Amino acid sequence: MRLNLNLLLVICITIWFTEVKAQTISEKVTSECNIGMTINNLGIIGNAFNGSYVANPPFPSCRYPKSSDIEHLFTGGLWVGGLKQGQPVVTTGAFEASRGYSVGGANFEFVAPFGSVLQERSSLISKQDLYSPAAISHQDFISEFTDTAFRGVVPGTQFPIPGYNPLGLSVRMETYNWNFPYSNFFVILNFRIINVGQDSIVNPYVGYWADGAVRNVRVSPPGTTNFFGTGGNAYIDSLNAVYEYDATGDTASTRSYMAIKYLGATDAKGFRYPLPYGNPAINQDFKCNKYSWRFRGIEDFQSPNTEALRYDRMSTSITDRPNWNDLKTIIAKDFNGSNLISAGPFTTLYPGDTINATFAVVLADRVLDGFPPEANTATQLRNLISGCQYVQAAFNGNDRNYDGLADSTGARLQRFLLPTPPAIPNTKVVARDNAVDIYWNKEAENSRDRITGLQDFEGYRIYKTKFGYDVQAAVDENNAFEIVAEFDKAGNNLFYNTGFSKIALGTPEVIDGDTMFYKYTINKLQNGWQHVVALETFDGGNPRTNLPSLATGPLNNLFRVFPGKTANADVKKTEPFVYPNPYYGEAAWEGIATTRPEDKKLYFANLPKRCVIRVFTMSGDLVDVINHDQAYNGSDIKSFSSPNQTVFSGGEHAWDLLSSNNQIISRGLYMFTVEDLENKKTFRGNFTIIK
């Protein structure tokens, strides 16, 4: 009988491990902010430079800026520790491993329900498929996972799983990131941790562990000699942050820091934050601990490979050790190690109780001061410090005194509040012959900042893409635009004090049902070319809190405009025409698309409001039929532009030089007719294709 029971136990354990390994790993990359960081549904950040845990696509691990080759993180994960039945137990969401996370790998102790995926939602209304009123940021990721798997027993039996000693946790993770230029350098990690076990967890700590690696992977690909051995680790005690930088490696190109910062937590007693902030009555013994150790280190930097050592690392700080001055010199350079920041002790976590803990990943550029990176001077850290302060203020929201209550009596507590630029006004762009008119209303001028409550609107900026970006599909906010005009409030000694008289309409105009009060015209634009124009609003900043002026950014209100002839009232008086004519196989406005024959285009111009264009060979064969109206937006051909952002002039229509059967037409002379559907008049003309 004992043999049969043992056999059953082995079979059941095998089934359990098979099911755990079959869990779905779902991952995404942050893309609204300027950090490209992989996050999966087990609360793990980074991907150990493996590209993706699910093979495709080749995700970055933690790149900043996201379009660069600068990686900052091997991997990281949530840690929760406490005393269970008097013994230290720590659940580690991620831990040092030469290849990072693997399904069922040791010390990666959280499991997601089979079939679960990392959900995504957005507060941006423009993200139609992802928009949710419940969203906190421009891109939220949400998942739920547990360390209990099958609650510690083999499925269908009462047999305990050998060596399986979870704390008994269920976790809901939400991550947040924003695309505002002033807040695109951090990702917030918010965890709701519930004790779903039968045992109380005494003196619990919650932490986040990260194995940083700041290197230029184009210069030094992962796996090359000493790739991981050039880092420097340090702490900012006053801001409860641990950080890593490249001290002696690719220092000419890796001028940035990666920090993990504790933002705050709530348990049964209330809001928990180390003194001198927060409520002294409940935070007298509450603190943030920082620890670092070498990968497979020994002695002072021994990797904590037992439950007792891990709990010790969570509940004590390396900065409190007697030999800390010597240790901090060692970790400052040529250090292949990892950082842990943890907070506690929280009040006893009884079954059913919850801790809500929040951390942030903060990236920042190093300020160059003439000293080498390993000096790690206060000047070099200036951006990181201000970034950590900013994300803390965003987390605090309307709880600026850290007591867990809204500042105003009776107000609802709001976390994750970012100071906001003024609203984007309703904007209308009109294309015409060699010019673009931009109209907008006064909506932005009544905007109030979400945190200060002040009407801090200051002015408007108009942008246009520089020469060379006219043909690009994607627009780089940092390099593509130039400011063509700026107007701000007069009389307050901020900016230029230009006032708005030069753009104010003498008589407001109603366009598409909205009353427009301002107009700006950009002249001397070539017809047929794509020009990207944008209108942004900006505020006056807040000198009291050292907050700079905030702007909406040109990417959030841009229009792709094709200047050209407006709608033609009489085709007999003002004849339609084709340009360029002759067409020599490619036009400069096509840019990189000229490598694809099906992406060519020429324009029919001086068209009526509503007409039918017919193209014929000289022998009378019908090549194509094109229906035109003045609301045309280029959606009928392959274009660099998104139709919902594209503005044509009303009297022009682009043609892709393809027949009605999508065949590429040959060179030669072609005839065309334009039938005005309003008055039934018809015009005839011709054009030439030369290849």
Classify strands 139-146 and 119-121 as parallel, antiparallel or unpaired.
antiparallel
- What is the spatial distance between Cα 549 and Cα 181, in angstroms, rounded to a whole number? 11
SS3 content of the chain, % helix, strand, coil (to 5): 15, 35, 50
User: Cα separations (Å) of 556 from 251, 270, 446, 552, 641?
Assistant: 34, 39, 19, 7, 15
**Residue burial 398-424, b: 16+ Cβ < 10 Å; e: rest:** bbeebbbeeeeeeeeeebbbbbbbbeb
The reported pLDDT for the residue numbered 680 is 87
- What is the spatial distance between Cα 184 and Cα 45, in angstroms, rounded to a whole number? 17
Going from N- to C-terminal start, the domains of the chain cover 66-110+152-396, 427-562, 577-689
Name the token pair of 262. 């504790």
Enclosing H/E stretch for 221 = none
Give strand ranges (E) for 311-407.
Answer: 337-344, 354-365
The reported pLDDT for the residue numbered 359 is 98
**Mean pLDDT for each consecutive 10-residue tract of the chain (691 residues)?**
42 45 78 95 93 71 92 96 96 89 81 89 88 95 88 55 78 94 92 96 98 92 83 94 94 93 97 92 95 80 89 95 90 91 98 98 95 93 94 90 87 87 93 97 89 85 80 60 95 93 97 95 92 93 73 88 92 89 77 57 95 97 96 79 80 94 92 94 94 78
CATH 3.40.50.1110 given to domain 577-689: no
The reported pLDDT for the residue numbered 33 is 94
User: Whose CA is closest to 387, among 528, 260, 228?
Assistant: 260
Residues 440-443: contacts with CB under 8 Å, at least 24 apart: 440/516, 440/517, 440/518, 440/535, 441/514, 441/515, 441/516, 441/517, 441/518, 442/517, 442/518
- What is the spatial distance between Cα 300 and Cα 466, in angstroms, rounded to a whole number? 56
pTM > 0.85: yes or no: no
Residues 123-128: contacts with CB under 8 Å, at least 24 apart: none
Name the token pair of 61. 């691990």
Give me the DSSP letters along 473-514.
SS--TTTTEEEEEEEE-SSSSSTT---STTTEEEEEEEETTE
Whether 683 contacts 576, CB under 8 Å: yes
Give me the DSSP letters along 514-562.
EEEEEEEEEESPPTT--EEEEEEEEE--BGGGTBPP-B--GGGGEEEEE
Question: Phi/psi of residue 686, each to 5°?
Answer: -150, 165
Question: Phi/psi of residue 383, each to 5°?
Answer: -70, -40
Whether 12 contacts 153, CB under 8 Å: no
The reported pLDDT for the residue numbered 474 is 56
Whether 486 contacts 496, CB under 8 Å: yes
Whether 180 contacts 394, CB under 8 Å: no
